[in-house]
């Protein structure tokens, strides 16, 4: 089942560290078959308040996601982001295309 790293970043302070992080993150994703599916687009808030940037990275499964996040290559660049932004990052497994809302009731 596909898995997703989802970030809600606020107060991103653009500078040399963030630029370096952006220049290096794709190389950390490649060995784990991770790729951005949401990144850089400004969201349209249709319910409630939203301030920040949504980012979603897709992986083939949870093991690939965990492997990427815990890899030495990603751990090396992670402080470049965390020192220069505020936010929340979560990991979540996806559902297949046959999933129905009522499946969570089972």
Residue 33 belongs to a domain: yes
Helices (H), the chain: 16-29, 62-70, 72-82
DSSP secondary structure string, 54-78?
EEEEEESSHHHHHHHHHSHHHHHHH
Q: Which residue has the higher pLDDT, 42 or 105?
A: 105
**What pLDDT does residue 43 have?**
85
The domain total for the chain is: 1
Residue 12 belongs to a domain: yes
Residue 17 belongs to a domain: yes
Residue 101 belongs to a domain: no
Decide if 93 contacts 6 (C-beta within 8 A): no
Residue 14 belongs to a domain: yes
Whole-prediction pTM: 0.91
Closest of 91, 90, 37 to residue 61, by C-alpha: 91
Structure tokens at 60: 């083939």
What pLDDT digit, counting tens, does each position of 15-73 carry?
999 999 999 999 999 999 999 999 978 888 899 988 888 999 999 999 999 999 999 99
**What pLDDT does residue 100 have?**
93
**What CATH number should be reported for the domain holding residue 13?**
3.30.70.100
Ramachandran class of 20: left when φ > 0, alpha when ψ lies in -120 to 50, beta otherwise: alpha
**What pLDDT does residue 38 have?**
95
Structural domain boundaries enclosing 37: 3-42+52-95
């Amino acid at each position: 089942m596909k898995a997703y790293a989802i970030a809600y970043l606020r107060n991103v302070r653009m500078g040399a560290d963030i630029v370096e992080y952006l220049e290096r993150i794709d190389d950390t994703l490649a060995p784990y078959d991770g790729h951005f599916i949401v990144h850089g687009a400004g969201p349209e808030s249709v319910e409630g308040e939203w301030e920040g940037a949504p980012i979603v990275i897709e992986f083939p499964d949870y093991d690939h996601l965990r492997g990427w996040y815990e890899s030495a290559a990603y751990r090396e660049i992670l402080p470049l982001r965390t020192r220069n932004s505020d936010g929340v990052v979560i990991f979540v497994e996806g559902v297949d295309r046959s999933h129905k809302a009522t499946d969570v009731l089972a």
